[in-house]
Structure 1
């Protein structure tokens, strides 16, 4: 079967059977499109015609293009997933990527904010105007729950339960989870919903999205990054901060205060505990402090 038709079948499989998000499917598409271009350059017309020698040449090209180890590992994972699908469906007999070794992963420590820096960020928001009330509620919720920016933008007003203090989040793979939030996020959200959001929706009645922009339309991920960057400049914070920084901060602060790693995994919506364990590296500073303070011979 034609290469493009096989790829289309694979993308449908990812969406329909694996419940992958559109963002994840797009990442697969980018990786596989690059591989198809490589095959055309090599004169290989089908996936079944790819040999291990071709794989070695492809990996060499990736390294020559200065791709990071993490990126190469992701591309290899995409190829392996494709070939597992092709073999399952009977379009290929062998997986030429099965012998390709994944490069060791680079563990970059997540960037996070200290409590003083968080206070600076929150203090830079003007809570007397509708957009400021929205921004404060947005930042408080991101820090209070550790949810991803995409998960935050997809929240509906009905997903917030003030009675028990939880928000219903649709995570990766369309998996739902309830995440609690504390009193600071509660107050900021309530103030925004009752005052700021109502004013922003004066020309867009019926909108169900929790966070809206100045025109009363759903706030996008790009919009969240923009308002966060603007607030950072007002707060005179010199470090580079993204919405994901607040997620890193959430996890790091919990672990520093003694939270169970598996509980943090559930709150973050990580499928694998190993993904959550990267935050324990950040918390070693806290562990050393505890040791030096409490060990008799420290």
Structure 2
């Protein structure tokens, strides 16, 4: 029984029984293939049935020396543990060599965010005199104005945009649908893009309902959206590390700063748990500290 056979079985299990999203599935399978390569090249062809805890621990140690982030290391361990738990349940193995693995302790992950001034700089940097620029402007405004994941952005269907009721139906992680409010400004840009830019593109029949198209008339890839964002933010002179997800973080942060309820933000982001959304409250920490220092009666009454 080979690594490739068991990895394929694991992939089917994650896809159909665990209902993993494509992105998470790809990450898990990529992680296990790296372990496979290590077993075949560095451990003289050790199989998934015979690899040991010590082998896996040494593999993780070698990877950790390559200065990968703690979050990446945590995901490797999560992938490996899931794989060997699967093999145990399938009775491919009688033990789980990954059971004692421990991931790095992760602190609070503070997402990068953009200020309103940063957003304006980025928008100004877009060349809106070209059709390509108008499309890219619209992409940025939808990412920021609706708080979407990049995978959700490239999958938007025109038929799911309700301009009359001002919302977009979004198909999120795990095929869960949600309705995201559409601001008038964002709706105006979308109408202009559809009528003045997209209408000029020769659309591939399979993508007649896809909102954002590339020059070939097909849906855009995640990679090209990343490239577009990088080029525009570099041009804008933004020194922060920016990705499409940064606009989603900024969307949530700015809503919270302006008084939006965390539960509503959770709904708009499509988070299944309020704990995930709660990460954005870190931005209030400094403000809260100042309020306590300046206004709390105990602090005001304290005399050295």
TM range (shorter): 0.7 to 0.9
Secondary structure at 1:169's aligned position in 2? strand
Structure 1: stretches of 5+ with no match in the other structure: none
- CA gap of 1:197–1:86, structure 2 versus 1, over 3 A, is same
1:237 paired residue number: 238
* Distance in 1, Cα, partners of 2:176 & 2:96: 30
Return structure 1 stretches of 4+ with deviation > 6 angstroms.
none
- State which drifts further: 284-293 or 97-106: 284-293
1:219 paired residue number: 220
What TM-score results when the alignment is normalised by the length of structure 1?
0.87
2:20 paired residue number: 20
1:186 paired residue number: 187
Query: Shift of residue 65 of structure 1?
Result: 3.2
1:147-173 deviations in Å (ceiling 9; x for gaps): 111210111111211122211222222
* Distance in 2, Cα, partners of 1:66 & 1:232: 26
Tell me if structure 1 keeps the 8 A contact 2:226–2:243.
yes
Tell me if structure 2 keeps the 8 A contact 1:70–1:106.
no
Secondary structure at 1:76's aligned position in 2? helix
Tell me if structure 1 keeps the 8 A contact 2:2–2:48.
no
1:33 paired residue number: 33
Query: Shift of residue 135 of structure 1?
Result: 2.2
* Distance in 2, Cα, partners of 1:279 & 1:247: 11
1:204 paired residue number: 203
- State which drifts further: 270-279 or 67-76: 270-279
- CA gap of 1:163–1:99, structure 2 versus 1, over 3 A, is same
- CA gap of 1:158–1:286, structure 2 versus 1, over 3 A, is farther
Secondary structure at 1:49's aligned position in 2? coil
Secondary structure at 1:277's aligned position in 2? helix
1:153-196 deviations in Å (ceiling 9; x for gaps): 11111121112221122222222222222122111112211222
- Aligned residue pair count: 296
2:11 paired residue number: 11
